[in-house]
Amino acid sequence: MAIFMTGATGYIGSYATEWLLRNTDHELALLVRAPDYDAGVERLWKSLQLHMEADEFHRHLDRICFISGDLTEPGLGISAADYDWLISNAESVLHNAAVLNFRSERACTNHNLRGTLSVIKLARAIQEDHPLRRFTQVSTVAVAGNRPGVTVMEDEPLDWSQPDFNAYTRTKKFCEHMVRELLPDVPCLVVRPSSVIGDARFAETTQFDMVRGLCALAALPVLPISPDARLDIVNADWVGAGLAELHVREDLARDTYHLSAGTESRTIGEIAHAFSSALGKRVPRFAGQLAAPFERVMDVLANFPKASNLQRIGALLSVFIPYIGTDIVYDNRHAVADLHSAPTPFTSYGAALYTYAKSVNFEFPYKPLPEGLDLSNVPPSPIRPMA
């Protein structure tokens, strides 16, 4: 029996996949946008090379089944044979795939809403064949809505009266609702990460969107944000390992967890001072009263008809600024207690991440699989490989 997982080759998904491969003996059935086995291997290697060398990656391949498909296609784009195989052989579902396009209602609807509905329909078919051990929905703390100055508790129910940040958070909130409503007889778990930026163990990263936003802000002599606003940033190594561990644990007392920095969230001022100290730069001035006009200017730049550096900066910061200026903290005490570990403060590793991102010009130097790595020698898998 296998864990069926979506989003395994994404940023957070790669951390969860790594943890499952190294800390469990579970077999993994991974939904990938790849036409054949070799393409699936190449796609997974691209995401896992941040975490392991090629020889270790090669050793894990006998536990992986690649399921060719696409979140936006009917029936997830899975062949009839693979769909039937999943119905018979999946013991749980870890749904991590999503699109993080904060500005596109269409992209969020197609990937997050329609995609999640298709995953739920597959889960229903599995449940009718045999009991699912668990369905885990990876969501976001931002489903709580735009509530400046609030501390959001893990066990708070969804509040539909709260304003949404954007199309992404709106669709993720409804995804949670669909899971609860359509899988009432399945043990369901909702895991909500906050802003996942960087790895506390090393500076390298493959995800640069949020980092690029921080770098753009760090270059400004005056920041249009209050220095007292807390920023809930959490390290990817803690989030990925946490969601994977929660998915396989049998002793959970709760069905919702915040993988967030919680009350240990650092303020914008603290982060700025940490960056300035580590990088030998002057601490920027703060002008929180400029937040609203700055957002309006960024919105204008974001809507420039032609792509340019100004348009890209506007598109990035028009989304980024509302998140970091709202001063929302997402309580994580249950996650910390049940995982017996806590996230690392961003102030301790953010400057190294900044330096690395600038050094590679916000582009990870991916390596191809070594030519001498013979995939034909991968031991036969006990689960069905991609046809």
The pLDDT of residue 372 is: 66
**Residue 216 within a domain:** no
DSSP 95-154: E------TT-HHHHIIIIIIHHHHHHHHHHHHHHHS--S-EEEE--GGGG---TTPEEPT
Per-residue pLDDT of the chain (387 residues; tens, 9 = 90+): 999 999 999 999 999 999 999 999 999 999 999 999 999 999 999 999 999 999 999 999 999 999 999 999 999 999 999 999 999 999 999 999 998 777 788 999 999 999 999 999 999 999 999 999 999 999 999 999 999 999 999 999 999 999 999 899 999 999 999 999 999 999 999 999 999 999 999 999 999 988 888 888 888 888 888 999 999 999 999 999 999 999 999 999 999 999 999 999 999 999 999 999 998 888 889 988 888 888 888 888 888 877 777 787 787 777 777 777 789 999 999 999 999 999 999 999 999 999 999 999 999 999 999 876 656 555 545 566 665
- The whole domain housing 140 covers 2-197+233-262+330-345+364-377
The pLDDT of residue 289 is: 86
The reported pTM is 0.93
The CA dihedral of 119, 191, 198, 56, to the nearest 10 degrees, is -60
Instruction: Calculate helix-pair angle for 115-129, 80-89, nearest 10 degrees.
Output: 60
The pLDDT of residue 77 is: 97
**Residue 319 within a domain:** no
Give 96's contacts (C-beta < 8 A, 6+ positions apart): 5, 6, 7, 8, 10, 12, 13, 16, 138, 243
How many domains are there within the chain?
1
CA atoms within 13 A on the CB side of 136: 30
Lookup: tokens for 341: 């570990």
**Residue 275 within a domain:** no
Lookup: tokens for 168: 């992404």
The pLDDT of residue 123 is: 98
Comparing CA positions, the residue from 326, 233, 231 lying closest to residue 288 is 326
CB 198 within 8 A of CB 297: no
* CA distance linking residue 108 with residue 102, whole number of Å: 8
Comparing CA positions, the residue from 57, 77, 58 lying closest to residue 69 is 77
Three-class DSSP category at 330:
strand
**Residue 211 within a domain:** no
The pLDDT of residue 89 is: 97
Tell me the residue length of the chain: 387
Three-class DSSP category at 20:
helix
**Residue 34 within a domain:** yes
* Residue 204, Ramachandran bin (φ over 0: left; ψ between -120 and 50: alpha; else beta): beta
**Residue 225 within a domain:** no
Tell me, letter by letter, the H, E, C secondary structure of 51-66. Answer: CCCHHHHHHHHHHEEE
Beta bridge partners of 193: 259
CA atoms within 13 A on the CB side of 196: 26
The pLDDT of residue 383 is: 64
**Residue 50 within a domain:** yes
Q: CA angle at residue 49 from 48 to 51, to 5 degrees? A: 70
Q: CA angle at residue 347 from 350 to 280, to 5 degrees? A: 70
The pLDDT of residue 376 is: 57
The pLDDT of residue 297 is: 86
Q: What is the CATH number of the domain that holds 8?
A: 3.40.50.720
**Residue 250 within a domain:** yes
